[in-house]
Amino acid sequence: MEKSELALHGGKPIRDTYLPYGKQWIDDDDIKAVIDALKSDYITTGPTISQFEKAVAEFVDAKYAVAFSNGTAALHAACFAAGIKENDEVITTPLTFAASSNCILYVGGHPVFADIDPRTYNISPKSILSQITEKTKAIIAVDFTGQPAEYDEIISIAKSSGNILIADGAHSLGATYKEKKVGTIGDMTMFSFHPVKHITTGEGGIITTNNEDYYEKLLQFRGHGITRDPQKLSKKNEPWYYEMQELGFNYRMTDIQAALGLSQMEKLKTFIEKRREFAKKYNDAFDDMDAIITPFQQHACHSSWHLYIIRINFEKLNTNRSEIFKALHAENIGVNVHYIPVYLHPYYQKIGYKKNLCPIAEKIYQEIITLPLFPKMSERDLNDVIAGVKKVISYYSID
């Protein structure tokens, strides 16, 4: 039997039960909120949605917030509001979920991938600058793992080149950049409420902004492009009259989702505190291990720690990432990998993107593993992950 097979099948695993990399925390208050919404007069587009939008806007110090059925829909809406059209170029990072780039394709734009900073794994301002052309319309920066991007430099680039900045904050609700909350740093910011995120609405997303024009466009886009506002109608008509003025989508959030989100918002600060506490314990446990590179944190920035990612130094190990991944799963530790560089997906290859566009991102992708991190983890869960990682790394160590 090979060494990798022994690691996978020999002996008793660290855990008897499987620990996922992420999981929602739903309590009785959340359940009651959803039941109350189901018993109310509105379960689709009612007052709870605006209450939830107000709660998120106030939390991030934004003037406006518009909720959507999911984070991808929210990004699509942001691209529409930004006026991105066919053949416009939008610069984004390859080390992200496909939605950060797909939203550009949805409006006919052309995604341009800038490489990443090898320390933070966020999009590199220097690489952004090298990709700016006359066709560039916007920049979509992603706060990878919950750590804010290098916004001072990115904003400077966006302003000097006349580009709109959309912040993909799917990972960074509650994060701060130089004492400023993520949510108002870009022209528009998207947050996701998928179950593994900081709070959940089941599925859901939101755009926050301080720009009233973007706000109005976002509202119209999520509701089929239809308006009933008398001041916006092309002609005066009957009280029931409405107009479809843009090709919008049905991207509305339900009151049921919003009720869950409102309840979750009351626990958000606690959730973030727990994520930061757990991340610190991981850092303390792995900092002295030569085979592990722990996450780098920018000065004066505070991550909200959606993900905890370790980078493996394979010069110190006699194995590869696949074997490490399988060995940890054999210990019932549900590690994951975030993310496959977007342009390496078959669809992107089919439409003309090639390998080696962003060599730093491709190299780091081969070396990273996501460890479990979510507020409902117990002290035992955390210790099991630490013990499992140390066991597997020690087993494959060259020394």
Cβ 290 vs Cβ 352: under 8 Å: no
What number is the average pLDDT over the span 133-143? 98
Instruction: Give the separation between CA 55 and CA 191, rounded to whole angstroms.
Output: 13
Cβ 72 vs Cβ 99: under 8 Å: yes
Same domain, 60 and 118: yes
Instruction: Give the separation between CA 353 and CA 345, rounded to whole angstroms.
Output: 9
Closest CA to 259 of 42, 66, 77: 42
Instruction: Give the separation between CA 150 and CA 140, rounded to whole angstroms.
Output: 12
Same domain, 173 and 67: yes
Instruction: Give the separation between CA 324 and CA 321, rounded to whole angstroms.
Output: 5
Angle 321-330/379-396 helices, nearest 10 degrees? 140
Element (H, E) at 142: strand 136-142
Dihedrals φ, ψ of 297, to 5°? -120, 130
**CATH number of the CATH domain containing 12:** 3.90.1150.10
Q: How many CB atoms lie within 10 A of CB 234?
A: 8
DSSP letter for each residue of 118-140? TTT-SBPHHHHHHH--TTEEEEE
Closest CA to 66 of 168, 148, 188, 169: 188
Chain position carrying tokens 């239809």: 226
Same domain, 13 and 62: no
Element (H, E) at 67: strand 64-68
> What are 5-19's pLDDT values in tens digits?
444 556 789 999 999
Same domain, 74 and 213: yes
Q: What is the pLDDT of residue 235?
A: 85
> What are 341-397's pLDDT values in tens digits?
999 999 999 999 999 999 999 999 999 999 999 999 999 999 999 999 999 999 999
Same domain, 71 and 176: yes
Q: How many CB atoms lie within 10 A of CB 73?
A: 26
Element (H, E) at 166: strand 164-168
**Domain boundaries, position 372:** 3-24+268-396
> What are 99-125's pLDDT values in tens digits?
999 999 999 999 999 999 999 999 999
Name the token pair of 383.
Answer: 């210790």
What number is the average pLDDT over the span 315-338? 97
Distance, CA of 147 to chain centre: 10
Cβ 198 vs Cβ 306: under 8 Å: yes
Same domain, 89 and 209: yes
> What are 49-84's pLDDT values in tens digits?
999 999 999 999 999 999 999 999 999 999 999 999
The sign of the CA dihedral 387, 393, 394, 395 is: positive
Name the token pair of 32.
Answer: 């009651």
DSSP letter for each residue of 73-86? HHHHHHHHHTT--T
Name the token pair of 303.
Answer: 């991550």
Q: End of a domain among 235, 265, 295?
A: 265
Cβ 370 vs Cβ 302: under 8 Å: no
Q: What distances in angstroms separate CA 316 from CA 4, 120, 207, 312, 393, one per listed residue?
A: 16, 22, 43, 9, 9
What number is the average pLDDT over the span 188-204? 98
Q: What's the CA angle centered on 140, arms 135 and 146, to 5 degrees?
A: 165
For the chain, what is the domain count? Answer: 2
Q: What is the pLDDT of residue 9?
A: 53
> What are 282-293's pLDDT values in tens digits?
999 999 999 999
Q: End of a domain among 265, 288, 311?
A: 265
Same domain, 361 and 233: no
> What are 215-230's pLDDT values in tens digits?
999 999 999 999 998 8
Q: What is the pLDDT of residue 399?
A: 74
Strand 164-168 versus strand 176-177 pairing type: unpaired
Q: End of a domain among 215, 243, 265?
A: 265
Same domain, 50 and 110: yes
Same domain, 350 and 326: yes
**CATH number of the CATH domain containing 212:** 3.40.640.10
Strand 164-168 versus strand 180-181 pairing type: unpaired
Same domain, 12 and 38: no
Closest CA to 271 of 21, 25, 31: 25
Same domain, 151 and 208: yes
Beta strands in 230-289 (DSSP E): 243-244
pTM to 2 decimals? 0.96
Same domain, 190 and 47: yes
